[in-house]
Chains A and B, each alone.
Chain A
Amino acid sequence: MPRTRIDLPYHVERLSILDETGKVDTELAPELPDEMLLKIHRYMLLTRRFDERLLALQRQGRIGTFAPVTGQEAAQLGTVAPLRASDWMAPAFREAAAELWRGRSLESFILYYGGFDEGGKLEESRNDLPISVPVGSQTLHAVGISYGIKYRGKDDVVVTFFGDGATSEGDFHEAMNFAGVYQTPTIFVCQNNQWAISVPRSRQSRSQTLAQKALAYGFPGIQVDGNDVLAVYAAASEAIERARKGQGPTMIECETYRMLMHTTADDPKRYRLEEDVEPWKARDPILRFQKYLASRGLLTEEEVQGLEEEIKTEIRDAVSRAEALMETLGDPLDMFEHTLEEMPDTLKEQREELIQELEAVGKEASHG
């Protein structure tokens, strides 16, 4: 009868292991082989330089709109590094670092942002979904895949990425709820980069943390310093482990920052001040990781320079290959492929119509 307190089984923790100066909490630091640390560093740097290159290509009109990832490299690589190849990933649209790690080629990004559907082709080896533009909607696919994994008695897991804005979407809540009810092996990774285009985090939710939303759905949520790749790795490993053991979903909120524009079609100067961005420059995920690796004697200044050169060449070659490929693509008839497995007569007729049209245009052109 009296008014009593209901104690929920979870509370929200915040995890931070590597600080801005490169100092590490050795108690909490995950034990990773040196090669893994260096591989993570390489992908961080590759993603950053690739982002810069894509931005330049976009400004030169060589590709179309894309969503830069600068500042969020740790949040993504810390999450996917502990995954197995047989695990699944359902990304949103700003996950270049995670996609590169999982095996997506640089060329495919350039093709895709260059306007060619071919860039969306997924390697058979990758258990990943293509990018998903409608915000938060892919989280439900992650739950369906993880239901399938559980149904088949496998111990694979599914990671799905989304942002702070997505936590306002209905699909996100339905996905969290379904995952909680069915205890699916799903890891919900929120990259809270503080901005949904021009709308700040404070306008998305009154919740003190985004991680706490998991509590309402009956599973743990943890907030991590999303610019600290070791903290993200530790939190992700823990969540993956739980999921593999059949202990259900986890939500990880990575607090990070969108250092650049939402997409290249956006101008952040309209809604945020340079002073807002400034403090995050010191929190850069790559700088602090490099300091850490240097302090452990794993990476010298010369080695960084060598790596920078290597990456520059890798990106340059990929751009050349992609642009050469674009010259050979562009058959308009490709649009009729992959709509349905078998092309219905209606579509065959429309395809024929375009063939006639193209021939007519060709004839007109040749007659001057």
Chain B
Amino acid sequence: MATTIPTVGNNTYYTLDGLNTINLELLNPLGYFANYAITIESPVYESLIASIGSEPNFTLADFVLWCQPFQELMQDGEDSSLYNLFMAFLNIAKIKVKWEIVQDEKTWKRLVALYIGHYMEINIKAIKDEENKLSLVVDNERKEETRRLEYVVGNEMFKDFRATMYGSQFWYEYEPYGRFVSGLWGTTIL
């Protein structure tokens, strides 16, 4: 774990820790090129991994609590046509909305629900396909109607999230956490 704070299980440091240090030693003609281990016995903080714990279970019930309109659409559980999509998004949501960052069960569950709700909203619009773009049928009667999706899936994530009801709620809550998430912006703490 890349941290300078000594915690239980992560309290040993090496003098040749990191490529930069190794390169400096190589460039020093009088250097010993020895790797010393320094272990701090005390004070040592509690292990971060132990205190964070594993992420809670997230169920369909947690989802429909925050995204109420989906309750009817999901009333038949796995027999609902959108259930597979929900489960696929849940697996991704648990990667994107990191439990290690939020660490509060109620907030984390709401964030995961809103994240899924955001993408479900987009997908339902796509599935409805009111423009008949995904149809092989020629529908001349609809030509005069110019429907278009209200959102633009852009390169910037926050614009994307703010395009839907659930996405904007999600980003309002998650933005402060977002700066610590690797791959988004900022750096990861784990």
A associates with B: no
By a beta-carbon cutoff of 8 Å, the part of chain B in contact with chain A is: none
By a beta-carbon cutoff of 8 Å, the part of chain A in contact with chain B is: none
